[in-house]
Amino acid sequence: MSVELIAQLYDREVFKLGEFVLKSGQKSPIYIDLRELITSIKILRMAAQSLCDIIKKNNIEYDYIVGVPYAALPIATLVCDILDAPMLLRRKEAKSYGTKKLIEGKFEAGKRALIVEDVVTSGQSIYETVEILRKEGLVCTDVVSVLDRQQGGVNVLKKHGINLMSVITMSDILDYMISVDKITAQRKTEIIDQLAAPFIPVGAENGGVPADWKLQSRCETTENALNRRIMEIILKKETNLCLAADYTSTEQILKIAELAGPHICALKLHADIVKDWSSGFVKTLTALAESNDFVIFEDRKFADTGKTMELQISQGTLAISSWAQMVTVHSTPGSASIKPLKQFVGKDGSRLLGCLLIAELSTEGTLTKDENYKKGTVKMAQDNKDVVGGFICQKRVANDPSFLYWTPGVNLDASTDGSGQQWRSVHQAIVEEKNDVIIVGRAITEHADPVSQLKRYKEAGMEALAARDH
């Protein structure tokens, strides 16, 4: 522990006490923003020196130092300078041109990479970095960090064979606060307990009693035909992965549908980008969906008057309701306009089971961040529960387990496509942002080995769901 470092951070008011809501929605009694470190080179040096002391004292072996992007990069640079060690840089997004490398710098497989992090919470972003380094053949068993928030990171990392050592822990900070009479010992215990407690979404609508989010219970109680079908598939096939098959030819779609069949709960299409749509294709795809037990999802994003949407969903060359079990609808037209869609559920000649409302897009600069917009969308879904199964969203938008929360913008190896799409990890999408189904496209379809990726996302999705609801 470095008391001097804590004292310096304390003097700069880096530790704030109060009631804070973290990015995940979790409440925290203390907020620590180590990014303020960057503006003080003195503290940054002190933090780097303390990390080097840990490395030396524990004889941690390494051939390269790797900072977890982005906040830890300046500290990692200073550590390399002090130790005269070579640095590697992990990219958050693969370059869209040239080598598509995820690690910059020269390295040899089989050598040891030591990870440097600023703050550890759940350990997830460290693990993502480790996975990438290991995939490149680097040996990765140790992480040093400036601060451990004591929220389970050590154990999560241990499970993956990673040893974490930190300069300061949350307990150290609270002990320091006790020593300067800022808090009592009793308060310290309360704070540590609160941080270690499993996260339960606050503000449950059923009188403050935490809602039951387990899919098994939600499947048993749902009155929505689409949600029953999807949850039955998720539970039976053990997959909450929806594949976005954004291909322009029916041959490509059928090829991926055949490969993906056993691994997905839904296959999402953009029918209007397909150049050779035909009734024969619809027949083959429907047969594949039936034999492999997945739902066909047309991401049409309807947004018009009720009458026009009615025509768009059932008529024209695509006749969407004759093959799609679910579609997306924008909430912009308002509640009355989606009522005409109800007539297609359970109607002869229609395969539609329900729809999702778009509460929030994954794109950079989206206008759907507006809280009133989201609230209005939730209200519209609540008023039309028979046809609306849930939402497309980035974070779970309602504290209502009768809806399902589907989320696009998921990719384990990149964070943006350079055209506005924003990707985050499966863990973030499900454990932190509380969604139920992950929608993954190019991370699978553009990979040289799509089947390995289907399995990877399927496993990661179900693992995250179990971690969220344990």
Contact residues: ligand 5BU, CB under 6 A: 244, 246, 270, 299, 358, 361-363, 392, 408-409, 411, 421, 439-443
Backbone torsions φ then ψ of 242, nearest 5 degrees: -110, 125
Burial class (CB in 10 A: 0-12, 13-18, 19+), 382: middle
The answer to whether 321 and 294 have CB atoms below 8 angstroms apart is: no
The answer to whether 203 is a known ligand-binding residue is no
Q: Which two three-digit tokens encode residue 105? A: 């710098």
**Rounded CA gap, 164 and 149, in Å?**
12
Q: How far is the CB of 415 from ligand 5BU (least distance, A)?
A: 11
* Nearer of residues 110 and 365 to ligand 5BU, judged by Cβ: 365
CA end-to-end span of the chain, whole Å? 33
In the block, which residue shows the tokens 């928030």?
149
279 is in an annotated binding site: no
Our CB check for ligand 5BU shows the closer of 145 and 325 to be 325
Give me the catalytic one of 118, 148, 172, 299. Answer: 299
| Rounded-to-integer distance, Cα 297 and Cα 352, Å | 9
Respond yes or no: is residue 142 known to be catalytic. no
Q: How far apart are CA 349 and CA 256, in angstroms?
A: 27
Task: Please pick, among 304, 342, 385, 455, the residue that the annotation labels catalytic.
Answer: 304
The yes-or-no answer on residue 299 being catalytic is yes
Least distance (Å) between residue 447 CB and ligand 5BU? 11
In whole angstroms, the minimum distance from the beta carbon of 423 to ligand 5BU comes to: 7
219, with CB counted inside 10 A (0-12, 13-18, 19+), is middle
- Respond yes or no: is residue 301 known to be catalytic: yes
Shortest Cβ 338–ligand 5BU spacing (Å): 16
Q: Which residue is nearest to ligand 5BU (CB)?
A: 441
Q: From the candidates 111, 214, 255, 301, give the one annotated as an active-site residue.
A: 301
**Closest approach of ligand 5BU to the CB of residue 463, in Å:** 19
Residue 442 known to bind ligand? yes
Is 441 annotated as contributing to ligand binding? yes
CB of 409 to ligand 5BU, least distance (A): 6
Q: Which is nearer to ligand 5BU, 52 or 438 (CB)?
A: 438
> DSSP for 307-356?
HHHHHHHHSTTT-GGGT-SEEEEESTT-HHHHGGGGGGTT-TT----EEE
Of residues 132 and 267, the one with the C-beta less far from ligand 5BU: 267
Would you say 266 or 462 has its CB closer to ligand 5BU?
Answer: 266
The residue among 270 and 342 lying less far from ligand 5BU, judged by its C-beta, is: 270
Q: How far apart are CA 440 and CA 420, in angstroms?
A: 16
List Cβ neighbours of 270 (8 Å cut-off, separation of 6 or more): 246, 298, 299, 300
Annotated binding-site residue? 67: no
How far is residue 88's CA from residue 113's CA, in Å, rounded to a whole number? 9
* 268 annotated binding-site participant: yes
Burial class (CB in 10 A: 0-12, 13-18, 19+), 339: middle
The rounded radius of gyration (Å) of the Cα atoms in the chain is 25
Residues marked as catalytic: 299, 301, 304
* Residues placed in the known binding site for substrate: 246, 268, 362, 421, 441-442
